[in-house]
Chains A and B, each alone.
Chain A
Amino acid sequence: MGIIKALGLVFDYLKYDEEGNVEDTQRAIDDVSLDIEEGDFIAILGHNGSGKSTLAKHMNALLLPTEGTMWVEGIDTSKEEKLWRIRQKAGMVFQNPDNQIIASVVEEDVGFGPENMGIPTEKIWKRVDDSLKAVGMLSYRNHSPNRLSGGQKQRVAIAGVMAMRPKCIVLDEPTAMLDPIGRREVLDAVHELNREAGVTVILITHYMEEAIEADKVFVMDNGKVVMQGSPREVFSQVETLKSYRLDVPQVTELAYELSQAGVKLPQGILTIEELEEALCR
Chain B
Amino acid sequence: MFKDITLGQYYPGDSVLHRLDPRTKLIGTLAFIISVFIFHTFPGYAVATVFLAAVIWLSRIPPRLIFKGLKAIMLLLIITVMFNIFLTPGEIVWSWRFLKVSREGLSLSGRMAIRLTYLVTGSSIMTLTTTPNQLTNAMESLLRPLNRINVPVHEIAMMMSIALRFIPILMEETDKIMKAQTARGADFESGGIIKKVRNMIPLLVPLFISAFRRANDLAMAMEARCYHGGGGRTQMKPLRYAMIDYAAFVILTVYLAIGAVFRIVGI
Residues of A within 8 A of B (CB): 60, 62, 84, 87-88, 91-92, 94, 96, 98-105, 107-108, 111-121, 124-125, 128, 145-147, 160-161, 164
Q: Which of B121-168 contact A (CB under 8 A)?
A: 133, 161-162, 164-165, 168
Query: CA A100 – CA B222 in complex, angstroms?
Result: 7
The one of B133, B165, B218, B238 in contact with A121, judged by C-beta atoms closer than 8 angstroms, is B238
Query: CA A147 – CA B214 in complex, angstroms?
Result: 19
Q: Are B236 and A121 in contact (CB under 8 A)?
A: yes
Q: Are A121 and B169 in contact (CB under 8 A)?
A: no
Contacts of A108 in B (CB 8 A): 236-237
Q: Are B225 and A104 in contact (CB under 8 A)?
A: no
Contacts of B74 in A (CB 8 A): none
Contacts of A115 in B (CB 8 A): 233-236
Nearest 7 pairs between A and B by C-beta? A111-B236, A100-B221, A99-B217, A116-B226, A113-B225, A92-B224, A124-B236
Say if the beta carbon of B232 comes within 8 Å of chain A: yes
Q: Are A103 and B225 in contact (CB under 8 A)?
A: no
Contacts of A94 in B (CB 8 A): 217, 220-221, 224
Residues of B within 8 A of A (CB): 3, 133, 161-162, 164-165, 168-169, 214, 217-218, 220-228, 232-238
- Known contacts A102-B165, A112-B227; 13 additional CB pairs below 8 A are A87-B223, A87-B226, A92-B224, A96-B214, A99-B217, A99-B221, A100-B217, A100-B221, A102-B222, A104-B164, A146-B169, A147-B3, A160-B225
In the assembled complex, the CB of B177 is this many whole angstroms from the nearest CB of chain A, namely 15
Contacts of A111 in B (CB 8 A): 236-237
Q: List 29 A-B contacts (CB under 8 A).
A: A60-B224, A62-B220, A62-B224, A87-B226, A92-B221, A94-B221, A98-B169, A99-B217, A100-B217, A102-B221, A102-B222, A103-B161, A103-B165, A104-B161, A107-B236, A108-B237, A111-B237, A113-B226, A114-B236, A115-B235, A116-B227, A117-B226, A118-B233, A118-B234, A121-B237, A124-B236, A146-B168, A146-B169, A164-B226
Contacts of B169 in A (CB 8 A): 98, 146
Q: Are A84 and B218 in contact (CB under 8 A)?
A: no
Q: Are B236 and A125 in contact (CB under 8 A)?
A: yes
Contacts of A92 in B (CB 8 A): 221, 224
Which residue of chain B has its CB nearest to the CB of A105? B133
Query: CA A94 – CA B221 in complex, angstroms?
Result: 7
Query: CA A119 – CA B236 in complex, angstroms?
Result: 9
Query: CA A96 – CA B214 in complex, angstroms?
Result: 9
Among B162, B218, B223, B226, find the residue whose CB has the most chain A CB atoms closer than 10 A. B226
Q: Are A102 and B218 in contact (CB under 8 A)?
A: yes
Query: CA A39 – CA B169 in complex, angstroms?
Result: 37
Query: CA A125 – CA B236 in complex, angstroms?
Result: 7
Q: Are A98 and B214 in contact (CB under 8 A)?
A: yes
Contacts of B214 in A (CB 8 A): 96, 98-99
Contacts of B220 in A (CB 8 A): 62, 94
In the assembled complex, the CB of A28 is this many whole angstroms from the nearest CB of chain B, namely 16
Contacts of B233 in A (CB 8 A): 115-116, 118
Known A-B contacts A121-B235, A121-B236; the reply to A116 vs B228 at CB < 8 A is yes
Query: CA A155 – CA B18 in complex, angstroms?
Result: 31
Contacts of A98 in B (CB 8 A): 169, 214
Among B162, B165, B228, find the residue whose CB has the most chain A CB atoms closer than 10 A. B165
Q: Are A87 and B217 in contact (CB under 8 A)?
A: no
Query: CA A96 – CA B210 in complex, angstroms?
Result: 12
The one of B164, B218, B226, B228 in contact with A100, judged by C-beta atoms closer than 8 angstroms, is B218
Contacts of A116 in B (CB 8 A): 225-228, 233
Query: CA A101 – CA B162 in complex, angstroms?
Result: 9
Q: Are B228 and A102 in contact (CB under 8 A)?
A: no
Which residue of chain A has its CB nearest to the CB of B168? A146
